[in-house]
């Protein structure tokens, strides 16, 4: 289900968090869908169950999944306008990324174009001013 880079400086549990978050955001894992059990995923990835639990706990704290003792862990349906702290962080991230692209010589026009392409893949929304 996942691929890990054990040589990376990023902790395995953080890599897991990022991979799973990505699957949720891109709707590969659907709302209320059950995630692999801690022990199952651990044996699949040949790592310790404690590491999986640490990742799941982090995902729960960040609002991406919920866990029910005895039943399992599930994808938490997104509540629009809920995670304001995360939105602020993303805004900051966006500013930094765009600044660095400008610094590296990417024309503003191209940056806008790229983002519009990305947004139009999601849904056929109207993006023209």
* Site residues, its own copies (CB under 8 A): 21-22, 24-26, 78, 80-83, 86-87, 90-91, 93-106, 108-109, 111-112, 114-116, 118-119, 122, 125, 127-129
Identify any residues that bridge with 75 across adjacent strands, giving them in sequence order: 65
Handedness of CA 97, 99, 100, 106 (dihedral sign): positive
Q: Are strands 72-75 and 65-68 parallel, antiparallel or unpaired?
A: antiparallel
Q: Does 62 bind DNA (CB under 7 A)?
A: no
Query: Of the candidates 2, 22, 27, 39, which one interacts with DNA according to CB under 7 A?
Result: 39
CA distance 13 to 38: 12
Give which of DNA, its own copies, none residue 58 binds (C-beta under 5 to 8 Å, depending on kind): none
Quote the least distance from Cβ 98 to its own copies, whole Å.
Answer: 5
Q: Binds 67, which of DNA, its own copies, none (CB < 5 to 8 A, cut-off by type)? A: DNA
Does residue 50 interact with DNA by CB under 7 A?
yes
- Rounded CA-CA distance 109/119 in Å is 15
The residue (of 34 and 82) whose beta carbon lies closer to DNA is: 34
Contacts of 111 (CB under 8 A, 6+ apart): 98, 101, 102
């Amino acid at each position: 289900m996942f691929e890990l880079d054990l040589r990376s400086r990023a902790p395995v549990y953080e890599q897991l968090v990022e991979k799973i978050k990505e699957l949720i955001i891109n709707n590969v894992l659907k709302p209320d869908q059950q995630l692999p059990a801690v022990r199952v995923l651990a044996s699949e990835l040949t790592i310790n169950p404690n590491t999986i639990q640490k990742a799941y706990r982090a995902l729960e704290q960040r609002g991406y999944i919920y866990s029910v003792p005895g039943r399992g862990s599930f994808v938490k349906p997104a509540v629009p306008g809920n995670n304001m702290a995360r939105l602020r962080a993303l805004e900051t991230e966006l500013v930094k990324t765009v600044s660095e692209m400008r610094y590296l010589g990417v024309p503003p026009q191209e940056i806008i174009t790229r983002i519009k392409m990305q947004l139009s893949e999601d849904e056929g929304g109207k993006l023209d001013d």
